[in-house]
Every structure is written in structure tokens, then in C-alpha cells.
Amino acid sequence: MFRFLVALFISLFPAAGGRRFLYNILLGYNISGGAKIGFLTVISVKSFTSKENLRTGMFNLFKGPIDIVIGKGARIGRFNRFTCSKHVLDERFNSRKYNPRLTLGANTLILNEHFFDVYGEVTVGDGSWIAGHGSQFWTHGLSVMDRDIHIGNGNYIGSGVRFAPGTSLGNENIVSLGSVVVSKLTCSSSLVSGFPAKPIRCIAEEKKLGKYRFSFEDWQN
């Protein structure tokens, strides 16, 4: 609770550079010098490391015994939650093998109002976007042991997508809004959709022609 209160105090500091400085000094994080941490973005975790040019918006919450590593140029929007309960540290849960860890690759984007349940390991590969609003990533549940979620490079995930524990996604896919991923999908350059989500068709040729382009060059903060 003390750590959370310190993080809450830091999140109220008026200058983004000051918030970064205080997080590093008071809570021992390693947030790079070029990072901008949004107002009322509360970071109360086990460890937090970011490379150059991290940008976060306002009202994000990082809370729990989570190790967080964020790559160069990553951007996080507003009202996102990355959480894990501290009870996973209790000795009685040793057999559950919780491993709270979040890794966001270089040039990733987490837009607005997404939820990450980080009781296992969640990785989002370089250049992948969690776009739109309201997607959820779950790593724990009743009797779940295969809990980690791994998302490859260059994926675009639309609004309202759900990832169940133990799921994964290949590279360069487009996941349509409202899809529910319940398995390990090894496909690449595919349109993925449905419940359960599955590859619908290959989009490699369309991407070569410039369709499905998403880039920070085309996106305004």
C-alpha cells in the first residue's frame, strides 16, 4: 500500500519529466530520459524498465508484483490497466507458478481502455498495435496452468478482442474487432476473426499493395 501511495503522489506531479525522475529516484525504476509519463498514470509494480521515447497518456494504471519491460518508441494511450494481485506471492500459491511479466516490444501501441490481467507472462512483439478500445488479455482463471500470452510482431488487433490464457498469435496479422482468441494461432499475414478466432484468409498480397497499412507516420497523438 505504501508503494502505491508513493506512486499515486508521483502521478500528480505537474511535469512529465518530474514524474519520470521521481519514479526512478523514489521507486527504483529505469525509465529512459526521453520518456513522457502521462498525468495520473500510476506505476506501482515490482520493476519497470523502458527504452527511449516511451509515451504514455493520462490515467493508466500499472499495479502489482509485475516485471515490466518496454521497448524503444512504444506508446500507451489512456485509461489502460495492467494489473496483478499481490496474493500471487503467497507461499500457498507456489504450485500455481505465477510469473507476472509484461514485455512490450519496440514501436508497439496500446491505445485506450484495454485491460491486461498479468498473472502470467504477456508479450507484445515489435510493431504490434492493440488498437481501438476495450480489448482484454487474461492469464489466469479456474485451474489454468498454461497462462502466458504471446503476440508476435507487426500485428494489428482491433477493438473488443479477447485473449484467453495460454494463447498466442503469429506475425503480421489483422485481428478483427470482437474476436475471441482461445488457442495458439501460428498463422502469419492473415485476417483473423470469429469466436473462436481463426485465420479467414491470407492478406499477404493485399499488404504488398499497400492495404492494411498502419504506421506512426500516419497516426496523430
Give tens-digit pLDDT for 6-52: 999 999 999 988 999 999 999 999 999 889 999 999 999 999 999 99
CB neighbour list of residue 132: distance below 8 Å, 6 or more residues apart? 111, 112, 157, 158, 159, 160, 177
Q: What is the pTM of this model?
A: 0.94
Share of the chain above pLDDT 70, in %: 98
The residues, any chain, with a CB within 8 Å of residue 175's CB and separated by 6 or more, are 155, 156, 157, 158, 161, 169, 181, 192, 193, 197
**Average pLDDT of the chain?**
94
Residue 221 clears pLDDT 70, i.e. is over it: no
Q: What are the pLDDT digits (tens) for 71-106?
A: 999 999 999 999 999 999 898 888 888 999 999 999
Q: Where are the domains of the chain?
A: 2-85+96-218
Write down the CATH superfamily of domain 2-85+96-218. Answer: Hexapeptide repeat proteins (2.160.10.10)
In this predicted structure, what is the pLDDT of residue 216?
80
